[in-house]
Amino acid sequence: MILVVGSKGMLGQELMKVFGDAARGVDIDDIDITDLVSVQRVLLTLKPRIVINAAAYTDVDGCQTEVEKAMQVNGEGVAYLALGTKEIGAKLVQVSSDYIFDGKKGAPYLEDDLASPLSIYGESKLAGEMNAWFNPDHLIVRTQWLYGHGGKNFVETMLKLAAEKDELSVVDDQVGSPTWAYDLALAVKALLEKGCSGTYHAANSGSVSWNGFAKEIFRLAGLDIKVNPMSTQELGRPAPRPLYSTLDCSKLAQDAGVTLQPWQQALERYLEQRPAR
């Protein structure tokens, strides 16, 4: 049995779909990953073969002020899951982020590139990666710019704003790979089926700025919205962001035989499947 922690979240829902009958989901009502006793109780009761941690505190700006909560959920919680899975002989899958990098490399990041997070969120996700090592049988999957059904994300934010305005300003100096949660779930499944361990990058192929991403969302949705450029500095968010954090996913292709579809195709499929609102 594969246990999905955070099964009601954006990625968790897709993991539950992809793994089907093999999966069982738990969420905040069932398990508190920041409480070792809660983690041990659930893992010792269910005794899963694999635990996928899709639970996280993902509000990047919120993490900047709620430092303790960020470190507890994204860092300490992973330590408890790692210790618990090791105790029952299960594999731990930890989902991580491009925000562990500073974006100054100037080329797509490889799995073994030096981590240098700019924000508390990035620091907390890096702590989670390090804590996953408490279980030698672990798989760390880094992704970026995630969107999907049933969660707050950039695509839904843009579509909501488009219903209120006909002109928007979106940053054009941050570049990455928008990634559909469903495709990420498929990558996790492929890695597990191949028995992979260690660290992997998984994102939809190709890269774009947030500004370019917004324009493609509106184009595919048939909306006539003017998208103006602006800088990250002009936006003035509390947490610093990496400017170029595209992930090199060639190791995923090599070891699991998976190359995720171009981000434009993934976005198109997502919008086609999106329920009417």
Per-residue pLDDT of 90-110, as tens digits, reads: 999 999 999 999 999 999 999
Residue 124 and residue 71 in contact, taking contact as beta carbons nearer than 8 Å: yes
Is residue 117 a part of any domain in this protein?
yes
Number of other CB atoms surrounding residue 21 within 10 Å: 6
pLDDT at 192: 98
Nearest to 144 by CA among 187, 114, 106, 112: 187
**Integer angstrom CA distances of residue 72 from 55, 77, 78, 211, 277:** 12, 6, 9, 33, 35
Supply the mean pLDDT for the chain. Answer: 96
CATH number of the domain enclosing 141: 3.40.50.720
User: Averaged over 246-265, what is the pLDDT?
Assistant: 98
**Active site amino acids:** 121
Is residue 273 a part of any domain in this protein?
no
Per-residue pLDDT of 2-31, as tens digits, reads: 999 999 999 999 999 999 999 999 999 999
Is residue 27 a part of any domain in this protein?
yes
Percent of the chain with pLDDT over 70: 99
User: Averaged over 251-257, what is the pLDDT?
Assistant: 98
Nearest to 95 by CA among 61, 50, 125, 133: 125
Compute and round to an integer the Cα radius of gyration of the chain. 18
pLDDT at 276: 66
Is residue 78 a part of any domain in this protein?
yes
Beta bridge partners of 94: 53, 140
- Cα–chain-centroid distance for residue 118? 17
Q: Is the pLDDT of residue 151 over 90?
A: no
Is residue 46 a part of any domain in this protein?
yes
User: Averaged over 191-201, what is the pLDDT?
Assistant: 98
pLDDT at 277: 60
Per-residue pLDDT of 35-86, as tens digits, reads: 999 999 999 999 999 999 999 999 999 999 999 999 999 999 999 999 999 9
How many domains is the chain built from? Answer: 1
**Three-class secondary structure assignment of 28-90:** CCCCCCCCHHHHHHHHHHHCCCEEEECCCCCCHHHHHHCHHHHHHHHHHHHHHHHHHHHHHCC
Is residue 167 a part of any domain in this protein?
no
Is residue 183 a part of any domain in this protein?
yes
Domain that holds residue 109: 2-153+178-207+246-262
Confidence category of residue 152, pLDDT binned at 50, 70, 90: confident
Polymer length of the chain: 277
Is residue 34 a part of any domain in this protein?
yes
pLDDT at 205: 98
Q: Is the pLDDT of residue 114 over 70?
A: yes
